Structure 1
Amino acid sequence: MKLDILVFGAHPDDAELGAGGTIAKEIAQGKKVGIVDLTRGELGTRGSAEIRSEEADASAKILGISVRENLGFADGFFTNDKEHQLEIIKMIRKFRPEIVLCNAVDDRHIDHGRGAKLVHDACFLSGLVKIETFLENDQKKQLVWRPKNVYHYIQWKNLEPDFVVDVTGFLNKKKEAILAYSSQFHDPKSSEPETPISSVNFLDSVEYRARDLGRLVGVDHAEGFTTEKQIAVKNLDDIF
């Protein structure tokens, strides 16, 4: 399956929190979008790997993504090495996306910045013909593929975006997808320990960040992204 956009997240719910509005908007415009979670989030204080897997499936249905996979890397302990890079390369070559979205380059959780660098490096390596990869149970060598662009969504830290996407009209869909992870976020009925993301304030911050980024560019809601290369537009009318 060829995808237009492939979104990587170190943990289930990273993609929704960082880029849920953008994902929903692109799908509404007819784009094919997939998500690859690097870990099962098994070290999370609340819930379990099994629960988070069920929640990820529910969230995927809400957003309407084409495919979701989990690479099963070790939560908290995966590294940016050849072994992990090759697994990312396999996903890139399998789905051949034009655009890759991935974790924030700098963030509170150590997996986020590490996941960002891992995916970014793998996107480059995926275009090298001398790196051979094969999907499991398939003896056919994968064709090389390098995405045109790699963008990093913003997570816990308020990083300065290089550009923003107008997601006006899609914030409610994003929030619905986030709330599918009921084990992770605020639930007054839950008896599990409190975490930084289980507070009411954190859930509210999803909206007030979107409103603030939107305010800066004159729209209702927006999501911010960073990039490690220059951004170009075909003409000045593309900027609003």
Structure 2
Amino acid sequence: MKIDILAFGAHPDDVELGCGGTIAKLISEGKKCVIVDLTKGEMGTRGTDETRRIEAGNSAKILGVSARENLGMKDGFLVNSEEYQLMIVKMIRKYQPEIVLANAIDDRHPDHAKGAKLVSDACFLSGLRKIETSENGENQEVWRPKHIFNYIQWKNIKPEFVIDISEHLDKKIEACMAFKTQFYDPNSKEPETPITSKDFYESLTYRAQDLGRLSGVAYAEGFTTEKLIAMKNFEGIIL
């Protein structure tokens, strides 16, 4: 399957929180997007790997992605190993995305920055012809994405560009809240965590609103980029 956007998250719900609005927007414009979760999120305080799997599937349906996969890496102990790199290389070659979205380059959870570097290195390795991978007994074609963009998570990293998600914030929040065990639920009897508070739930709106205020739109999501972006012209810039 040749797609446009391949979004990686260290944990189920990372993609929704960091760039769910952007994915919803791109899909509404006819782009094909796939989500790949590196771990099952089994170390999370609330829920189980099974509830996370079900919630991830529900969220994927809300966003309308073409597919969602989980690589089953060890939650809390991501390492930039050859084994993990090759698992990601196989995903990149399978879907052949033009753009890869990945975790924040620096964040509260150590898996996020580790996941960002792991995906970045795999994107480079995926373009090397002497690294051979196969799927279902057939050799995969080498493929290197044109761009890697990192979304922003817990920390307020200064974005290098933002995407206007003004018409898609509601779908982003709906996709996030599909992870019922993870976020604000006043009736839950499970332990509180930094992301289960009402304030965190409200931050989904006010953080997007703040980036929108700074960029002249209602709501936005921010990204950093590994390389300098060249534009063909000024079309598409919101003035």
TM-score bucket (shorter structure)? over 0.9
What is the CA–CA distance in structure 2 between the aligned matches of 1:132 and 1:49, rounded to whole Å? 31
TM-score (norm 1): 0.98
Deviations 1:11-39 (A, max 9, x none): 00000000000000000000000000000
1:75-133 Cα distance to aligned partner (Å, 9 max, x none): 01120011100000000000000000010000000000000000001001100000000
| Partners of 2:86 and 2:38 in 1: CA distance | 13
Aligned to 2:129: 129
- Structure 1 segments of 4 or more deviating over 6 A? none
Which residue of structure 2 lines up, in the alignment, with residue 175 of structure 1? 173
- The alpha carbon displacement at 1:160 in A equals 0.3
Q: Name the structure 1 match of 2:93.
A: 93
Q: Is 1:236 the equivalent of 2:226? A: no
Q: CA deviation at 1:139?
A: 1.9
How many residues were matched structurally? Answer: 238
> In 1, Cα distance between the equivalents of 2:236 and 2:36?
30
**C-alpha offsets along residues 148-202 of structure 1, whole Å, 9 cap, x if unaligned?**
0000000000000010000111000000000000100010110000000000000
AA matched with 2:140:
Q
Q: Map 1:192-231 to 2 at 5 A.
A: 192-231=190-229
State which drifts further: 229-238 or 193-202. Answer: 229-238
Match of 1:57 in 2: 57
Question: 1:54 & 1:237 partners in 2: Cα distance?
Answer: 41
Give 3-state SS (helix, strand or coil) of 2:7's partner.
strand
Deviation of residue 235 (structure 1)? 1.3
User: 1-side partners of 2:70 and 2:236: how far apart?
Assistant: 36
The residue correspondences of 1:1-40 to structure 2 (distance < 5 A) are 1-40=1-40
Per the TM alignment, residue 206 of structure 1 is displaced from its structure 2 partner at its CA by: 0.8
Distance in 1 (alpha carbons) for counterparts of 2:61 and 2:225: 28
Where do 5+ consecutive residues of structure 2 fail to align? none
Instruction: Quote the offset at 1:231 in angstroms.
Output: 1.1
How many Å apart are 1:140 and its aligned residue?
1.2
Shift of 1:134: 1.2
Question: Structure 2 counterpart of 1:36, which letter?
Answer: V
- C-alpha spacing 1:30/1:237, structure 2 compared with 1 (3 Å): closer
Matches for 1:40-119 after TM superposition, within 5 Å:
40-119=40-119
Counterpart Cα distance in 1 of 2:80 and 2:49: 22
Task: State the AA in 2 paired with 1:216.
Answer: L
The whole-number CA distance in structure 1 between the counterparts of 2:211 and 2:124 is 30
Cα-to-partner distance string for 1:216-237 (whole Å, 9 max, x where unaligned): 1110000000011101111133
Q: After TM superposition, give the deviation of residue 239 of structure 1 in Å.
A: 2.8
Q: Aligned partners of 1:119, 1:173: CA distance in 2, in Å?
A: 26
How far apart are the structure 2 equivalents of 1:237 and 1:4?
20
The answer to whether structure 1 residue 146 and structure 2 residue 144 are counterparts is yes
What is the SS of the residue equivalent to 1:237? coil
**Which letter maps to 1:155?**
Q
SS of equivalent residue, structure 1 residue 108: coil
CA–CA distance in structure 2, aligned partners of residues 78 and 115 of structure 1: 7
Q: TM-score by structure 2 length?
A: 0.98
In 2, Cα distance between equivalents of 1:23 and 1:237: 21
